[in-house]
Amino acid sequence: MKKIAILASGSGSNAENIITYLRNKGVNFSSIIYTNNPNAFVIKRAEKLLEKCVVFSKSEMLNGTLQKMLCEEKFDLIILAGFLLKIPAEIIEVFPQKIINIHPALLPKYGGKGMYGDNVHRAVCAAKEKESGITIHYVNENYDEGTTIFQAKCEVLPTDSPEDVAQKVHFLEYEHFPKVIESLL
């Protein structure tokens, strides 16, 4: 049985999609959801899915408490699914090539500190890009610079708003992120 951790800071739609997909595919896995946001909707999704959910603070992430929790569980894969904090180098060192993230753009464009969610989609539209998409990558010590595992593209029309681009990118996330995770497991 493979063990996965899913870290999320917000709504948790990707976390729910991943768990539902893996269950429907009959993948032999167990999972725990972790969130740094005690008000995140991902907590409600975890309850609905009957998944354990652990809430931790930023200070617990920085002082080694989160690392200890992750090590005790001996996870095969740690998935960042809308997780907005930078993973400390100490955790990356303990889980080399076992932490993955999904970014709502075609890296290396539109990556780095502050480039998440709607910030990315606004930047894509402002630059009048003809395409956007997703990048699934391993996490290293720098924002959005880890080795790319997978990319998928979508067309950006001149008339698209950031909300339109977000909708297209979410579709790609829901379609591809669970499949890539399944292949990594």
Could you give the 3-state DSSP secondary structure of residue 160?
coil
Q: Which residues are catalytic?
A: 103
pLDDT tens digits for 98-156?
999 999 999 999 999 999 999 999 999 999 999 999 999 999 999 999 999 999 999 99
pLDDT tens digits for 66-89?
999 999 999 999 999 999 899 999
- Say how far apart CA 141 and CA 144 lie, in whole Å: 9
CB proximity list for 31: less than 8 A, separation 6 or greater: 3, 4, 5, 6, 19, 22, 51
In the chain the domains, ranked by start, together with CATH numbers, are 1-96 (3.40.50.170), 105-135+144-175 (no CATH)
pTM of the model: 0.95
| pLDDT the model gives residue 182 | 97
Could you give the 3-state DSSP secondary structure of residue 91?
helix
| Mean pLDDT of all residues in 49-57 | 97
Q: Are strands 2-8 and 77-80 parallel, antiparallel or unpaired?
A: parallel
pLDDT tens digits for 147-179?
999 999 999 999 999 999 999 999 999 999 999
- Say how far apart CA 14 and CA 175 lie, in whole Å: 10
